Amino acid sequence: METLYDRHGKAVAFITDGEYIYLYSGKPVAWIHEDSVYAYSGHYLGWIYNAWFYDRRGRPAFFTEDSTGGPTRPTRATRPTKGTRGTRPTRGTRETRPTRPTRSSSWSESSDESYFKQ
C-alpha cells in the first residue's frame, strides 16, 4: 500500500495492488493506467512522475514516501484509520491523454480530495 500525501502532509488516499486509489474513508476514486491517473468515469486526472502525482496543468498534487524532486515536502501527518473499502465502480472509457504541460514546482490547488473530482 502506498499513501498519497497532500501539500500539507495530510494522508488523503492510498493505492492498493499498484493500481486502485481509495480515499481513507474507503471510497474508490481512481485507477492508474501506465503512468496516468483516471477517475472511474474515465476522465483523465493527471500523471505520475518520480512518485509525484501531477494534475492536468503540470502542478504536483500528491507525494508518496518514495517521491524525489518536486517542491519541498511538508512533514507527513499520521495516517488515519482506513474505512472499509467500497466496491469499485465500472471503469468508463479512458479519456484521451492530453499533451502534458511542463512540470511546475508550485503546488496544485487540487492537492486534496478535489483532485479526484476534476
The set of cell numbers assigned to 74 is: 511538508
pLDDT at 73: 94
Give the pLDDT mean for 46-63. 97
Per DSSP, the three-state class of 45 is strand
Residue 117's φ and ψ, nearest 5 degrees, are -105, 5
Q: What are the domain boundaries of the chain?
A: 2-117
pLDDT at 79: 94
Q: How confident is the model at residue 1 (pLDDT cuts 50, 70, 90)?
A: confident
pLDDT at 113: 95
